[in-house]
Structure 1
Amino acid sequence: MAPDSLAAALTATVLAVLAAVLLSATWDSGTGVRRAARRTATGVLCLITALAATGIWINRQVDTITTWSALTGQTTTAGTDPPPATHSDTGGQLVTLTVTGTASGLTLPVHAYLPAAYRQQPTARFPVIEALHGFPGSPSSWLNRLAATRHLDQEIAAGRMAPTVVLFPPQTPNTLLDTECTDLTNGPKAETFLTVDVPAAAETHLRIRADRAGWGLIGYSAGGFCATNLALRHPDRYATAASLSGYAEPGITIGDGTEHTLNNDSWRLRHLPQPAIALYLSSGRADRQAHQDAETLSHLAHAPLTVTTSYVDGGGHSMAVWEAAEGPAFDWLSTWLGRPVD
C-alpha cells in the first residue's frame, strides 16, 4: 500500500475517525491523573491521525511521495512507477529506461511516452520533449494528475501535434530536496542529469532525433522555470521550451550564487546575448507571480529569442490550470520542433 494510494488515504481517514470516536467515548472515564492522562493521549492520537490523513490526501494530489522510504528523505526513485502501458493501435505507450548518469553520478528511472507512430514507422526517428514536474511533485504528477499520455494521444491523433517521444525524468533523487533542475553545490547534479545523461540514454535506447531541432522542454510550476532556464543555458541542445506557471528565478540557494545571475532568467536576458530559441510562457491570470514573471521575460526578450505568451482567464497555481494549458503547449512546441525523419 503506497503512501499516495487510495487505500492509504482511506485507511488514514478511518483511523482518524476511530481516534475521534475513542476520544469521545473515553472523555469522562476515570478520575484524577488517569483521566487527564487518558484525555491527553487520545487527544494527541486524534491530532496525529488527522494530520496524517490530511497529508496523505494532499500527497495524492501532487504525487510527491510514492514510497514510504521517501518520507525520511532517503535517496529514492519515488514517483517513478509507471501506470499500465496503452496497447491500442491508435494510442501511445509508456516504457521505462534506467538512466545511469555517468556525467551526473545519478542513476534514476525515466518514463518515455512512445506515440503510436513509433510502432507503425519502424525506421523513423522522432522529435523529443522532456517534461519536467513541479516541487513538490514527481513524474507521476504528469502521468496521473495531468493525464499527459491521454492529452498526447488526442493532440497527435487530431493532427495538431506531430508524433513525438516525451520523456518524464525526475529532477531530484530525493523527493524532499528541491533542485530546480540545477547542479547544487555539494548536492545532486540535476542539470547535468537532465541535459547530458537523459539525452544520451534516450538516444542510445530509443529511435529519436539527436539534433537540437528535435529536442524541446516543457514544465509546470518549478518545472516551468526548469524548462526555460535549461533552454536558455543549453541552446545547443534544445530548440524550444514551454513553461506552465513557471518563474523567472529558482527561489532556492544553489550554493554558488548563480540563483542571482546565470541561473536567473531575468538576469540572463538583461546581461547576456539572447539565444535563437523559442519560448512559450503560460499561466493563469490570477497566478500573480507566474503571470508577472511571464510578462517580465516577454518584455525583456528580443531577436533572435522568440517568446509567445498565452494566459488562462482566472485560474491560480493549480493542476486544473496546467491540464487546461498542456494540450496547446504541446501543440505549440511541435510547431517549433523538427518532424520525424527516416
Structure 2
Amino acid sequence: MFQLTGNFILIASTILAIALPILAAVLWSRKPPASGGRPVAVLKFLGRIGLILVAQVTAMAALFFYVNDQYGFYASWSDLLGLGHDTPARIVQVNELHPGTGKLEVLNVHAKSGVSADTLVWLPPGYDASGSTRYPVVMFLPGQPSHPQNLFNEYDFGDVASQAIAAGTVRPFVGVFPPIMIAPPRDTECVDVPHGPQAQTWLTSDVPAAVQAKYRVEPPGKHWSLMGWSTGALCAAKLTLGHPTEFAAAVSLAGEFDTYLDNTTGDLFGSNTQLRNENSATWLYHQYGMRGTKLLMISSKQDEWAWIATEKMAQVTRGDPAVSLITFPAGGHNFHVYKPYISTALDWLDRAGSLG
C-alpha cells in the first residue's frame, strides 16, 4: 500500500496537501473563545505555525511523489533513502499483466562483471518454453536513477507490444529490461569504470549470456536491438555503435550522445582519453560511422535535456540513410510525453530488420 511508486501514496498526499490549508482556514475563521491568558495565546500561535509547516511539507511531498511517478527517479524507499548497500534494487513483485499481453518474469543474473541483479523479461503472447522458435530480443534500458519495472509499467510496454504484434506491424520478440544502475547511488553512464563497476560488460555480455541460457532467443547480432530512455538512451546509442556485431539497431528516447561527468558519476575514465572517446556516440560515429547498424532518435523540442544533444547528433549524421529522426514540438522530459512513441519505435525496429 505504501510503495513509493504506488497510486495510494500519491493520491493520499495530494488529498492532504489540499485538505490541510482548507482545515487551517476553517479553524482560523472560527470565533476565538475567551482569552485564557498569555500561555494559551502562545500555544495557539505555535499551533498555527505548526499547521502551516505541516501543510507546506505535505504539498512538497505530494509534488515529489508526482514528479517521481512521472520520471521514475526512485523505485523504492530504500532507493530514496540510500539503503541499497551499493547493489541494484531487487524486483520483489511482478505485476499481473492483462490477459493476452504476454508474461513477465524476473531473471536473476550472476555475472562475471561482479554484478548480481534482477532483470525483467517480457515474453510475448504465444511464447512456449518447449517450442522451437527462437525470438529476436529488444533490450530496453531505463534512465538514471530508475528501475526496470518503472520503465515497463510507465510505458505500458506489455500492452503496447502485444497490440503491435497482434496487428501484424511487429513480429514477436522477447523484451529484456536490465538495470543500468548497478552500483547505486553512483551513475556509471554504462561505462566499464577502471577499478570500478563494469557496467558496459554487464549490458553487452552478462545480461545477453543469461538471457540466452534461459530463453529461446536468437544469439546477439542482427536480431538483438537496444532501446533506451533518458540516460538509457545514451547507453543504447553508444553500445550499438561500439558493439555492431552484438546489436543491430538502437532507439534513443530523449537521450544525449556524449557521456558526462558530475558529482553523481565521479571519475569514470581514470584520465583515459581513449576510454572517454569510446563512450561517446558522437565520437564513435565520427570515427567509424554506423558500421551496418541503424539508429532512431526521438525527441521533443521542448525537452531541454535531450533536444540540444539530439539536434547536434542529427547534424552530425545528416544524410546518413541508417539514421532516422522523429521530433515533436511540445512536451518535457517525462514518460507521459514519450509514451505514444513506443509503438512507433517498435515498428521502426521491425522495419529496420532487427526483429526478424
Normalising by structure 1, report the TM-score: 0.85
The unaligned stretches of length 5 or more in structure 2 are none
What is the distance in 2 between the residues matched to 1:318 and 1:60? 9
* Cα offset, 1:83, TM superposition: 1.8
What is the distance in 2 between the residues matched to 1:317 and 1:294? 13
What is the distance in 2 between the residues matched to 1:249 and 1:303? 21
Aligned to 1:115: 124
Distance 1:78 1:61, change over 3 A: farther
What is the distance in 2 between the residues matched to 1:232 and 1:220? 17
Distance 1:328 1:23, change over 3 A: same
Query: Mapping of 1:248-259 within 5 angstroms?
Result: 248-253=257-262, 254=265, 255=267, 256=269
Contact 1:282/1:309, CA 8 A, preserved across alignment: yes
Aligned to 1:83: 95
The unaligned stretches of length 5 or more in structure 1 are none
- Out of 244-253 and 196-205, give the one that drifted further: 244-253
Contact 1:283/1:312, CA 8 A, preserved across alignment: yes
What is the distance in 2 between the residues matched to 1:270 and 1:80? 43
- Out of 107-116 and 262-271, give the one that drifted further: 262-271
* Cα offset, 1:16, TM superposition: 4.0
Q: What secondary structure, in the 3-state scheme, does the structure 1 residue paired with 2:291 have?
A: coil
- Out of 55-64 and 221-230, give the one that drifted further: 55-64
Which letter maps to 2:339?
A: E
Which letter maps to 2:97?
A: A
What is the distance in 1 between the residues matched to 2:319 and 2:220? 22
Contact 1:172/1:188, CA 8 A, preserved across alignment: no
Aligned Cα RMSD in Å?
3.1
Which letter maps to 1:333?
A: L
Query: Mapping of 1:128-143 within 5 angstroms?
Result: 128-143=137-152
* Cα offset, 1:275, TM superposition: 2.6
Query: Mapping of 1:154-193 within 5 angstroms?
Result: 154-173=163-182, 176-184=185-193, 187-193=196-202
Percent sequence identity over aligned pairs: 28
What is the distance in 2 between the residues matched to 1:233 and 1:221? 19
Distance 1:116 1:86, change over 3 A: same
Q: What secondary structure, in the 3-state scheme, does the structure 1 residue paired with 2:302 have?
A: coil
What is the distance in 1 between the residues matched to 2:289 and 2:343? 31
What is the distance in 2 between the residues matched to 1:248 and 1:80? 33
Contact 1:217/1:240, CA 8 A, preserved across alignment: yes
Aligned to 1:326: 342
- Deviation string 1:248-299 (CA, Å, 9 cap, x unpaired) is 2233345125685222222232345653211111112333553343343233
Contact 1:87/1:93, CA 8 A, preserved across alignment: no
Contact 1:274/1:305, CA 8 A, preserved across alignment: no
* Cα offset, 1:303, TM superposition: 10
Contact 1:95/1:111, CA 8 A, preserved across alignment: yes
Normalising by structure 2, report the TM-score: 0.82
Contact 2:229/2:253, CA 8 A, preserved across alignment: yes
Distance 1:269 1:312, change over 3 A: same
What is the distance in 2 between the residues matched to 1:150 and 1:181? 28
